[in-house]
Amino acid sequence: MAIQWFPGHMHKTRGAIRERIKSGIDVVIELLDARVPASSANPLLAQLTRGRAALKLLNKQDLADPERTRLWLDHYNARPDTRAVAIDQGMKGLARTLAQECRALAPNRGGLDKPLRVLVCGIPNVGKSTLINTLVGKRAAKTGDEPGITKNEQKIVLDKDVYLFDTPGMLWPKITVPEAGINLAACGAVGRNAFEEEVVALDLLAYLRQNYPLALKGRYQLELNEALAEGELLEALGRRRGAVLAGGRINTQKAAEILLNDLRAGVLGRITLETPRQFAAWQATARALEEAKAAEREQARAESRRGTRDAQREQDAGHDDAAADDGQDLATD
């Protein structure tokens, strides 16, 4: 299932980020979901902020698999001009930590004469508004569990010579890695109208059965028989959690919502839905598919052009034959 969600106001956000970068930004903080770091990394943002030092914040680390979080921190810290830190909203001294990390990335900036200018970005519902509120110690930004609440840019003094510019959350126009779309939907980063809960729940069950079987067994007392399809697992989950309709039928929609809500609330345990190696494989598969589709389109265009040229040649040949017949008729006369 392809998941796409790019509301109109996000076009405005893209323009605002572009203009802010032009006006002078030293460090770009990208807030990522520690449960889906690569899926929640905006490739459009990477294009807009190319050449700027980057601080990757893996937010909600308290919900993520700590072993996999370490893999992701190593992955990002190996990049040039990049630092990565895992955080959660309850961390003490978070503002000081972020200021220190930003200063390390831009050592030539600082002081009242050349303050350090930092842009903080992230996809919707990744926890950016809550982070801003934590940093300033008051309710400075609207928060909620629906993607896309923040709509306007904000300027915040992170330290006496560190200015933080906040922008609304933004997804990208086309999610080319199908697994990324599923992961974003599972974690609540896209609007509810962009996906079907049952489809996402089935893919999530397949991943959890392979990577976190104990989480499923512990929460739902499921027997993970290899012969059972994901649809049967979803029905068993619904039966265990009371999602039963009249006549004993299972409300699979309700069962899907239960699974997704449990994942988002962390009651399944600390789970991360991708590793650097897994995402690289998904990305390679998606890239190969896109290249194959592009080749097919080019072949179709080439065949169309050949068909047009052949038709034109036939038409021209018909005109030549008609002209020859007219000439022969004149000669006979």
CATH assignment at residue 211:
1.10.1580.10
> What local confidence, expressed as pLDDT, does residue 7 receive?
56
> What local confidence, expressed as pLDDT, does residue 23 receive?
81
Same domain as 101, residue 20: yes
Same domain as 156, residue 19: yes
Share of the chain above pLDDT 90, in %: 50
Instruction: Express each pLDDT in 290-299 by its tens digit.
Output: 899 888 888 8
Q: With contact defined as beta carbons under 8 Å apart, do 167 and 45 qualify?
A: no
> What local confidence, expressed as pLDDT, does residue 4 receive?
60
Residue 331 binned pLDDT confidence (cut-offs 50, 70, 90) = low
Same domain as 189, residue 95: no
CA 234/CA 240 separation, integer angstroms: 10
> What local confidence, expressed as pLDDT, does residue 146 receive?
39
Using a 10 angstrom Cβ sphere, with 0-12 exposed, 13-18 middle and 19 or more buried, the burial of residue 266 is middle
Same domain as 217, residue 100: no
Q: Which residue has the higher pLDDT, 48 or 325?
A: 48
Q: Bridge partners of 84?
A: 56
Instruction: Among 161-165, 259-263, 310-314, name the most confident range.
Output: 259-263
Q: Which residue has the higher pLDDT, 249 or 323?
A: 249
Structure tokens at 241: 């959690």
> What local confidence, expressed as pLDDT, does residue 333 receive?
54
Q: Once rounded to an integer, what is the mean pLDDT over residues 80-99?
A: 89
CATH assignment at residue 32:
3.40.50.300
One-letter amino acid of 17: I
Same domain as 111, residue 212: no
Residue 323 binned pLDDT confidence (cut-offs 50, 70, 90) = low
CA 264/CA 63 separation, integer angstroms: 8
Same domain as 81, residue 29: yes
Structure tokens at 83: 């630092």
pTM score of the predicted model: 0.82
Same domain as 215, residue 100: no
Same domain as 188, residue 124: no
Q: Once rounded to an integer, what is the mean pLDDT over residues 149-155?
A: 54
Residue 140 binned pLDDT confidence (cut-offs 50, 70, 90) = very low
Instruction: Express each pLDDT in 55-75 by its tens digit.
Output: 999 999 999 999 999 999 999
Q: Give the end of a domain, one of 225, 257, 276.
A: 276
As for how many domains the chain has, the answer is: 2
Q: Does residue 197 lie in a domain region? A: yes
CA 106/CA 53 separation, integer angstroms: 7
Q: Does residue 325 lie in a domain region? A: no
Q: With contact defined as beta carbons under 8 Å apart, do 128 and 42 qualify?
A: no
Lowest mean pLDDT among 152-161, 234-243, 249-258, 321-330: 321-330
Same domain as 162, residue 17: yes
Residue numbers of the domain that contains 102: 13-166
- Cβ partners under 8 Å of residue 135, min gap 6: 94, 95, 98, 156, 158, 164
Same domain as 57, residue 143: yes
Helix (H) or strand (E) holding 84: strand 82-86
Q: Does residue 286 lie in a domain region? A: no
How far is CA 285 from its chain centroid? 17
> What local confidence, expressed as pLDDT, does residue 8 receive?
57
Same domain as 132, residue 25: yes
Q: Does residue 173 lie in a domain region? A: no
pLDDT at 156 over 60: yes
Q: Does residue 297 lie in a domain region? A: no
Instruction: Express each pLDDT in 242-255 by its tens digit.
Output: 999 999 999 999 99
Q: With contact defined as beta carbons under 8 Å apart, do 29 and 267 qualify?
A: no
Longest dimension (CA), the chain: 106
How far is CA 234 from its chain centroid? 25
pLDDT at 287 over 60: yes
Same domain as 98, residue 188: no
Q: Give the end of a domain, one of 107, 134, 166.
A: 166
Q: Give the end of a domain, one of 261, 276, 291.
A: 276
CA 236/CA 323 separation, integer angstroms: 79
Lowest mean pLDDT among 6-10, 82-86, 219-223: 6-10
Q: Does residue 189 lie in a domain region? A: yes
> What local confidence, expressed as pLDDT, does residue 271 receive?
98
CA 303/CA 294 separation, integer angstroms: 14
Q: Once rounded to an integer, what is the mean pLDDT over residues 270-285?
A: 98
Q: Does residue 30 lie in a domain region? A: yes
Q: Does residue 324 lie in a domain region? A: no
Instruction: Express each pLDDT in 216-226 by its tens digit.
Output: 999 999 988 88
Lowest mean pLDDT among 68-72, 127-131, 200-204: 127-131
